[in-house]
Structure 1
Amino acid sequence: MNYGMQVGGDVTPQSLAPLGIQAYELTESCAQIMPRAEATLADVYNDLLNLGRIFDVQARAEALVAQMRRSVSEVQASVAGKSSPGVFLYDSGEDRPMTAGRLAIPQALISAAGGQNVMGDVAASWTHVNWESVVQSNPEVIVIVDYGEVSAAQKQHFLESNPALQSVDAIRNRRYVVQPYVAVTPGIDNVTAIETLAAAFHDVTR
């Protein structure tokens, strides 16, 4: 299994096949090579069910997906009827931020938590945008992805020290939600991410 094989890179399903290695590309990553609809949690569930079949643990996969569905339904019920804050996901980058368009799984996570991805009109998966578009969309909440050499605290400091961003509501009000990389990429931790985001968006206690 691989998440996000680099298109044009050295490691591809074709290069692995002669070595007897089979590859499974997660659904979200297919947006890099083929037209895709908006990312949904069904993509995650289907991947988990497929992996259950591949590794002959189908019953466990089905039980896991059923529990994930129940947990997400509980969150959605808790935020139903509440206003949907505009949310910007800040992955990385200073000159141009990396974020999630509507083909990336955070689109589904933010929506399930009762928010609105301010980059949801961008027909891309994980992609770079310009800061002008962030200022124009004026998110109320910023989700900071915590991974790599630049810490979440450093990313927050950059946001708060960049004069061009000081009109953004999320920055003025210091409304940030830090999430680990594993929680905002497809997988079982997506449910925890939805619960955390919902609590941050709506002050929902779980």
Structure 2
Amino acid sequence: MDVTRTPRPARRRTALGTALAAALLLGGCGAQVETDADASGKVSVKRCGEPVSYTLPRRAVAYEGGSADKLFSLGLADHVYGYVMPPANPPVEESPWAADYAKVKMLSDDLLNKEIVVEAEADFVLAGWNSGFKDERGITPEILDRLGIQSFMHAESCFNYPGYPERLTPFEALYTDLDRLGAIFRVEEKAAEVVAGLKKRVEAVRAKAPGGTPVPVFLYDSGTDRPFTAGSQVPPNDIIKTAGGRNVFDGLDQRWTQVNWEAVAEAEPEVVVILDYGDLSAQKKIDFLRTSPRTKGLPAVRKNNFFVLDYNEGISGPRTIDGLEKFAEYLRGIER
């Protein structure tokens, strides 16, 4: 997620085998991982739509909770040197992988930049395009390539990556990232196990989704003059859809984007999902929606149908599936 946009406030070490499988294909998840290993121990894996050769990382740096969680879920704490965690993120102690966070260094509570990565002597950086990696801040995969520092981008953020775009649904992108990271770090079997577990949980939710017309749902991220919300290219869109709802802005081919209150009113959402992060609490966001003349008449507000989604359940990472299960349970319990 791009936490820098305005007007938002702001080593379990594994041995390198002599050869890797030519390709890892997990049916139904959209993941295609090229894993041809050459004599030097490099492996070719796609970074967005670009094939890139990777050596086994030993000093990885992760930006935000979603990135670190992906690595920790694959048992890679021994390969992680540290993480960068801007203020929008909830405390790492709340993560299921809190013990792994405690083993590595917190490098900064600011935004990702080249200086942090160089000072850490990182050999691998994991972040999203146009969020952690950003032209305006002088840290992009191309810049890091010139410095000899490997990088990888969340597939969920690749749909508009210059030169090598890639389009996957958010859940497919999560599975793909885990597959590709498994190839880069030579833990393909662990990645396949993790992905299979996540997919099983998703299908269990899908099987229980209410029938009939999907419930119209509005995700409220932030903003008073104009709201930020979720387009079709971010995890909440798949969370809402899989649970049996419909993101009222799923027609926007965007990630996190700005709309206007008139469009929200016209959509008549029956549920509002509050993305919880930063200095403005979820309760304050709910209070605003209850009192603003532009939103207090919304069906969801009148019925008090609010669901709070944790920040790390709303960005690309394993905790997205936790958010899915919680929202699905909530949605099955509301009256229509």
State TM-score, norm by structure 2: 0.58
Q: Does residue 222 of structure 2 align to residue 97 of structure 1?
A: no
May I ask how many residue pairs the two structures share in their alignment? 204
Give the AA of the match of 2:257: T
1:160-199 maps to which residues of 2 (within 5 A)? 160-199=290-329
Q: Does residue 155 of structure 2 align to residue 20 of structure 1?
A: no
How far apart are 1:6 and its partner, in Å?
3.2
Q: Which has the higher strand share?
A: 2
Give the AA of the match of 1:196: K
Match of 1:143 in 2: 273
Runs of 5+ unmatched residues, structure 2: 1-125
Distance 2:240 2:168 in 1: 13
Distance 2:192 2:330 in 1: 30
1:163 aligned counterpart, secondary structure: coil
Distance 2:285 2:159 in 1: 27
From 220, 234, 241, give the equivalent of 1:111. 241
Distance 2:210 2:330 in 1: 15
Say which one has the larger Rg: 2
Shift in alpha-carbon separation, 1:181–1:32, aligned structure 2, 3 A = farther
State TM-score, norm by structure 1: 0.92
Distance 1:80 1:160 in 2: 27
Tell me if the contact between 2:156 and 2:169 (Cα under 8 Å) persists in the aligned partners: yes
Distance 1:70 1:113 in 2: 14
How far apart are 1:139 and its partner, in Å?
0.6
Moved more, 72-81 or 44-53: 72-81
From 184, 202, 209, give the equivalent of 1:79. 209
Tell me if the contact between 1:105 and 1:184 (Cα under 8 Å) persists in the aligned partners: yes
Q: Which has the higher helix share?
A: 1
Match of 1:60 in 2: 190
More RCO (CA 8 Å, sep 6+): 1
Moved more, 129-138 or 195-204: 195-204
Match of 2:257 in 1: 127
1:26-74 deviations in Å (ceiling 9; x for gaps): 1121134356656341111011111111112211111010011111111
Tell me if the contact between 1:139 and 1:169 (Cα under 8 Å) persists in the aligned partners: yes
Tell me if the contact between 1:32 and 1:125 (Cα under 8 Å) persists in the aligned partners: no
Tell me if the contact between 2:170 and 2:316 (Cα under 8 Å) persists in the aligned partners: no
Runs of 5+ unmatched residues, structure 1: none
